[in-house]
Structure 1
Amino acid sequence: MKTAIKVIEQLEVAGFEAYMVGGAVRDYLLEKKPHDIDVATNASPEQVKSLFERTVDTGIAHGTVLVLKDGTGIEVTTYRTEGSYSDHRRPDSVEFVQSLEEDLKRRDFTINAMAMDKDMAITDPFGGAQDLAKGLIRAVGNPDERFQEDALRMLRAIRFSGQLDFQIDPSTLASIGHQAHLIKSIAIERIKSEIDKMMLHKKASRSFAYLTDTGLAEHLPSGYLFKADWAKFQVFETAAAGWAFMLFEHAQEMEAILPYRFSNEEKQTIKRALEAARLPEWNEWVFYSYTNAQLAIAALLNGRKVEIAGKKSALPIRSKAEMAVNGSDLMKWSSQKQGPWIKEWIAKIERMIVFGELANDRELIKEWFMHEYRHHQ
């Protein structure tokens, strides 16, 4: 926040207005540490760039310049109003204005439509502070208009309900039900990002109740999966746990949620966590074969109480790379050429080491291998 105040002071010295806006103000009033701090000003993008030594044109067409100062990036955006949203995603046009209130009027919810000057004085034309005190998410002005401008705002309202443990204002909630079909105009990547964030908060059950009760889920890919007993869900450090929870509850596989375009790492985590959760027994091979994260999510899904890190540390080896022998050793000892047989024998040795049936000692493994290999000739 100190860097943002320095940016504001520099703009004011040059004769411009400047305020911290959006989520940073909301978090400050909630006595939470703000993450990204944005600044709004009546200076044009060109004027902002002329006042600071280092800037990046991150969104200059929409009035946003990233100011680099004290090792921090502060987004500075010119006051603006927006034209119609023909695609329900982004404004067809932007007009720079001189009025802070006009700028705040275009924002999504009252709790995000406040501004704060360098002395922490609040400008709050739409009752955002009062809604914060009430624990209420309410659209700025007409909720139908706000959601028609950017349909993702419906998911944002639902996400904030869980993130802040707030209720959604009745008129705003009713509007989500009326405008739910518009969510189909939003890119799936933006939708997934909001759903991911819902899964990272303790009150995820509140968000998913709103998602299904408003009918919004019906307009999302595999929307029926979101209707689950989220009261049982335990928040994990990644959203993969939430997606795995949905699939586990509905006895579905990864294929059911592929339209959400997961990364390969996410796919692997979710798929493997489901596999582990469905295993009737967790032996040494399970602790060896699955990652800590996969097992942790699986344990959350099936309610298994186990100290995963301890089980893994007790294993003779943690990966194939720790084996005392490799395929070259087997070829040398057997005088055989490379082939599929090596993989089979390495797998057999690896499994025996994990189960403690064979010590991870090069000479002992050689002795065992030569005895067994001769008997298989």
Structure 2
Amino acid sequence: MKTAAKVIRNLENAGFEAYIVGGAVRDFLLGKVPHDMDVASNAYPEEVKKLFNRTVDIGIEHGTVLVLMEGEGIEVTTFRTESEYTDLRRPDKVEFVQSLEEDLKRRDFTINAMAMDKDLAIIDPFGGKSDLEKCLIRAVGEAGERFQEDALRMLRAVRFSGQLNFAIEEGTLAAIRSHASLIRSVAVERLKNELDKILLNPRTQHSMAYLKDSGLAKHLPAGGLLSMDWTGYEPKGQAAFGWAYLLHSQQKQFEEIKGYKFSNAERRLVERALEAANLTEWDDWTFYCFEAKELEIACYLNGTDMDIPLRKEQLPIKSKRELAVNGIDLMEWSGRKQGPWLRQWIEKMERHIVYGQLENDNGLIKDWFLNEYNGDS
């Protein structure tokens, strides 16, 4: 907040208007510590760049310059209006203006359409402060127009409902219902980003109830799965818990949600967690084969509690890297070239060591291997 105030002061000293805008103002009024500080000003990007020693052009075509000051980055965006959203996401034309109110009226919800000056005075042309007090999410102006400009705003309303524990204002909810099919036009990466946030917010079930009631769910990938009962779900700080919960609760496989374009790491985490959760029992080999996070999610899915780090720490080895021998040793001892047999014998060796049937010692493993290998030949 102090750094943003300094940025505003510098702009004002140069004869410009400048205000903190957006979610930071909302969070400040809710008594929360604001994180991302955005500043709106009637200064044009080139004028902003001249006033500060360190800036980065992060969206200069839309009027945004990142000001670097005191170890922080403050986005400064020129007051602007937007016209026609042919792709239901980006404005066809952005026009810089000199009016703060014109800038605020293009925003999504009244609680996000407030501004604050450097002295913490609130500028609130659309009743955002009143809606905060009433715990309401209301679109700025005509809700249908806002959603036609950017259809993702409908899903953002659903997300904010759980994040803030607010109700969606009746007219705004009605507009979501009548425009729900527009959500199909939104890039799947943006959809997943919002759903990830919903799975992290403290009242996921509240948001998911709106997702179903608004009609949005049926237009989303795997929407039928999203419409399940979420009352038993508790966020755990990582969206993967939610995606795994979604599938495990309905005995579905990852293929059902692959349309959201998960990263390879996300996919592996969810799939492995489901695999571990479906095992009938866990032994030392389970704790060796699965990563701690995979087991943590699996425990959550099964409603069990165990000291996973301790169990992994008690293993004779934690990974292949700790083995006293490697594939080259086995090829040398057997006189064979690399092939499928090698992986099978390495796993056999790992199992014996993990189960305490063989000590992780080069000489002892060699004796064991030669005896077992020759016995199988």
Could you state the TM-score of these two structures normalised by the residue count of structure 2? Answer: 0.97
Contact 1:144/1:175, CA 8 A, preserved across alignment: yes
Look up the match of 1:104.
104
Q: 1:361 Cα shift?
A: 2.1
Look up the match of 1:265.
265
Look up the match of 1:190.
190
> Per the alignment, in what secondary structure is the counterpart of residue 231 of structure 2?
helix
Q: 1:267 Cα shift?
A: 0.7
Give the Cα–Cα distance (whole angstroms) in 1 for the partners of residues 242 and 223 of structure 2: 14
> Per the alignment, in what secondary structure is the counterpart of residue 200 of structure 2?
coil
Look up the match of 2:289.
289
> Per the alignment, in what secondary structure is the counterpart of residue 341 of structure 2?
helix
**Aligned pairs (5 A) from 1:6-155:** 6-155=6-155
Q: Deviations over 1:298-349 (max 9, x none)?
A: 1111212222111111111110111111122223333444433322211101
The one-letter amino acid paired with 2:142 is N
Q: Deviations over 1:21-50 (max 9, x none)?
A: 001111111121111100001111221122
Q: Deviations over 1:251-306 (max 9, x none)?
A: 11111111111100011011111111111111111111111111111111121222
The one-letter amino acid paired with 1:29 is L
Give the Cα–Cα distance (whole angstroms) in 2 for the partners of residues 195 and 334 of structure 1: 53
Contact 1:161/1:167, CA 8 A, preserved across alignment: yes
The one-letter amino acid paired with 2:247 is L
The one-letter amino acid paired with 1:177 is R
Q: For residues 334 and 22 of structure 1, do their structure 2 counterparts lie closer, same or farther at Cα, with a shift above 3 Å needed?
A: same
Give the Cα–Cα distance (whole angstroms) in 2 for the partners of residues 340 and 103 of structure 1: 65
Q: Deviations over 1:69-89 (max 9, x none)?
A: 222211111111111222211
Look up the match of 1:334.
334
Give the Cα–Cα distance (whole angstroms) in 1 for the partners of residues 194 and 148 of structure 2: 18
Contact 1:63/1:78, CA 8 A, preserved across alignment: yes
Misfit runs of 4+, over 6 Å: none
Look up the match of 2:241.
241
**Aligned pairs (5 A) from 1:222-241:** 222-241=222-241
Count of residues paired in the alignment: 377
Give the Cα–Cα distance (whole angstroms) in 1 for the partners of residues 370 and 269 of structure 2: 38
The one-letter amino acid paired with 1:168 is I
Q: Deviations over 1:96-143 (max 9, x none)?
A: 111111111111111101111111111111111121122211111111
Q: Report whether the alignment pairs 1:276 with 2:268.
A: no
Contact 1:198/1:204, CA 8 A, preserved across alignment: yes
Q: Deviations over 1:179-199 (max 9, x none)?
A: 101111111111111001101
Give the Cα–Cα distance (whole angstroms) in 2 for the partners of residues 43 and 88 of structure 1: 28
Give the Cα–Cα distance (whole angstroms) in 2 for the partners of residues 328 and 189 of structure 1: 44
> Per the alignment, in what secondary structure is the counterpart of residue 230 of structure 1?
coil
Give the Cα–Cα distance (whole angstroms) in 2 for the partners of residues 95 and 165 of structure 1: 35
Q: Is the deviation greater in 247-256 or in 6-15?
A: 247-256
Q: Is the deviation greater in 60-69 or in 324-333?
A: 324-333
Contact 1:163/1:203, CA 8 A, preserved across alignment: yes
Aligned identity (percent) is: 62
The one-letter amino acid paired with 2:306 is V
Give the Cα–Cα distance (whole angstroms) in 1 for the partners of residues 117 and 49 of structure 2: 21
CA RMSD of superposed structures (Å) = 1.3
Q: Report whether the alignment pairs 1:313 with 2:313.
A: yes
Q: For residues 215 and 367 of structure 1, do their structure 2 counterparts lie closer, same or farther at Cα, with a shift above 3 Å needed?
A: same
Q: Is the deviation greater in 68-77 or in 263-272?
A: 68-77
Give the Cα–Cα distance (whole angstroms) in 2 for the partners of residues 341 and 192 of structure 1: 42
> Per the alignment, in what secondary structure is the counterpart of residue 357 of structure 1?
coil
Contact 1:234/1:300, CA 8 A, preserved across alignment: no
Q: Is the deviation greater in 366-375 or in 159-168?
A: 366-375
Q: Is the deviation greater in 362-371 or in 160-169?
A: 362-371
Q: Deviations over 1:128-187 (max 9, x none)?
A: 112112221111111111111111000101111111111111111111111101111111
The one-letter amino acid paired with 1:99 is S
The one-letter amino acid paired with 1:127 is G
The one-letter amino acid paired with 2:168 is I
Contact 1:81/1:97, CA 8 A, preserved across alignment: yes
* Structure 1 stretches lacking a partner, 5+ long: none
> Per the alignment, in what secondary structure is the counterpart of residue 66 of structure 2?
strand
* Structure 2 stretches lacking a partner, 5+ long: none
Q: Is the deviation greater in 365-374 or in 252-261?
A: 365-374
Contact 1:236/1:297, CA 8 A, preserved across alignment: no
> Per the alignment, in what secondary structure is the counterpart of residue 342 of structure 1?
helix
Could you state the TM-score of these two structures normalised by the residue count of structure 1? Answer: 0.97
Give the Cα–Cα distance (whole angstroms) in 1 for the partners of residues 91 and 336 of structure 2: 69
Q: Is the deviation greater in 177-186 or in 43-52?
A: 43-52
